[in-house]
Chain A
Amino acid sequence: MLFSRKNTEAKRSGQGPVGVLYDRHAPWLLGVCLSYTGNREDAEDVLHDGFMKIIRSIGSYKEKQPGSLEAWMRRIMVNTALKYIRDHKKERMSTELDSNLENLQESGDQNDFEGSDLTKDQLMDLICELPAGYRTVFNLYVMENYTHKEIGEMLGIAENTSKSQLSKARSFLRKRLNEYQNKKNYAKAEFNR
């Protein structure tokens, strides 16, 4: 049993196994939730609901290999986040970006962003700035490694819509990254001058 494995740690910390489980996994799961909801308040709601689901069904979980618990929890959290987004549909999944972002793919510069020195928080902020539909598709494709077909089935959208939204999400992110690079280069030039 998972909880019995953590009993020693629970006794040492003076709190129940649920508390230990929460303290260990809540931070990174909240990061996952944040990348889907786009704001911290909603992310904490999703984390709460998702963790309740986890403790309800953890009795049925069987650890097959190391790390599968994390994958299992992540999946539950992602599903909870998707349900939350569906239930609190403030933005349509097929929200269009501004027209001035449409041509970014063609006109963008050649930066490969390998050496981007943006912090993790700044990158997460960029994700949060994405419209809900783009953000969801981007996360499912890039972070969860789902195919467009699977994403289409999960979100109830066409496969091509998923591709289109991913492309637009990338364009948006690229634009923002370019802006950051340009600012940085400008600052460097100013400093050298």
Chain B
Amino acid sequence: MNIKIKRIMQKQNSIDDLFRRELADYKVTPSDERRQAFLRDAAKEAGKRSAKRWWITGLGTGLLITAGVGLWILEESPVEKATEGRHENNNVKIFENITPKKTDKNISIEKKLIEGKENPVVKATGRKPEPRIRMNYALTVSQPSGLRGHHEPVASNTAPSGQAKVAANVQSIFPEQVQETGIKSPVKQSAPEKQPVEQSVPATAPLQENEKKILPETRNEEKVPKHRGKSSLPGNWNISTGVYYSPEWMFNTLNGDKYANNMGIEGTFHFGRYSVRTGVGLSITTGSNEILVQTNPYLGSYNVLDSIGFRWNDKHTSLIPTLYTSSANAYDTTLRYNYSYMKKRYTYLQVPLLLGYDFWQNNWLSLGMRAGAVMSVLLKTENMSATYDPGKDRIISINNISPDRIQLNWQAVGGINAAFRLSRRYSIELEPDVKYYFNSVYESSTLTRKPWSVGVRAAFLITF
């Protein structure tokens, strides 16, 4: 039994090995037609990929440039500059001179809040005799207007007389408006030989703590730009109007892909993260129409005798005839059919109504979704190319083969909106969108193809 199985296995393996060995490098040369067909398709594929790559690169570059310009404008915003200027005026340097007596043993400096106001109180208690100390505190002050006059630095010598002498000199452009907000380390500001003094003065720690308490208010104030108005905050509402331009590429039309220019004015009502947008605009697109012209071919011309006049000639004593003729064209009676293309320009009135929701917002940028419908009404059709020239042939009839455009159509629109706020009033928006036409744009019941399109809307808006 085992021998039989072994034999079968051997036979099987021999067949497998035979085919595996012999057909491992089996080659058949493809036909030349197939090769050419493949290379054609591969070239088409490469073209598609290249076009796709260019689209992505272009879109990305456009977004980057827009974002960059937006940021640059934000940085250079005049309101921002005014805010910065006001801060610069309030920059004050405070120098404190602490001069303990020789009998002082220890020096402590405390900064206390008196009656809820941030008045630094400098105390010095002397234990050991110390050399003359001069501490320079370079204080960067940002003065909120509401707190002016309440933050005068107070230096008091609470030590017993003769133990220590502390002097605090405050040098300020507007001394009455001084408020401590940023105290730089004495070690950094003072001369190197004065560094040991800081070690012998443990009171710097409380100063830094108070500094931390005060600093966040003013720093936050510096960080939050003044011009970021209520428009970006949820729960508030505003209205913005502006102009927009949107190039649009239509697909699934009769004569291949089409390009359309859309522009107009619009108004948007914002309520927190939600928005409603409407407006009125023009959409201009072109199309080529095929026409069939029936003609009679021109054969030639001849003179038609219109009339004959006679005049008596005395010399020859005879009547001389005068022939009055006119030229007439001769045409073949057979019909000749000529196909011709005429380029037409269509102008639509567009009324969009879109709802929006911003899913991400910050002070200068918001991202959101927009969806809605657009109504398009055909206003005008113009012939852009010259009318058909039949030459000398006689035109019998001209028939439109391509259907004309319908007067009214509706589109569904959806897109992603990116709004860059340049200032409190001005903003720009970029919105890549996709449109789907609910009905065919042509006047033909047999054409059921519904176009769709992609576009990028760019808008400049003013917020009220």
Q: What is A's interface to B at a CB cutoff of 8 Å? A: 16, 18-19, 22-23, 26-28, 30-31, 34-35, 40, 43-44, 47-48, 51-52, 55-56, 105, 108, 110-114, 116, 118, 120, 123-124, 127, 138, 141-143, 170, 173-174, 177
Contact = CB atoms under 8 A, between A and B. Distances in A.
Contacts of B11: 108, 110-112, 174
B306 interface: no
B28 A170 contact: no
B19 A47 contact: no
B38 interface: yes
A120 B25 CA distance: 9
B16 interface: yes
Interface stretch (B39-47, B137-145, B396-404, B411-419): B39-47
Given A110-B7, A177-B15, A22 B38 contact: yes
Interface residues of B, number: 32
Contacts of A142: 16, 19-20
A79 to B, nearest CB: 18
Contact of B41 (A28, A48, A108, A141): A48
A40 B28 contact: yes
Contact of A26 (B16, B25, B35): B35
A19 B39 contact: yes
Contacts of B35: 22-23, 26
Contacts of B311: none
B10 interface: yes
Given A44-B30, A47-B30, A143-B20, A28 B15 contact: no
Nearest to B18: A113
Contacts of A108: 11
B312 interface: no
Most chain A C-beta atoms within 10 Å of own C-beta, residue among B15, B22, B35, B46: B15
Interface string B8-35: 1011101111111011111111110011
A47 B26 contact: no
B37 interface: yes
Given A47-B34, A52-B42, A173-B15, A27 B27 contact: yes
A23 B27 CA distance: 12
Given A18-B42, A47-B30, A114 B25 contact: no
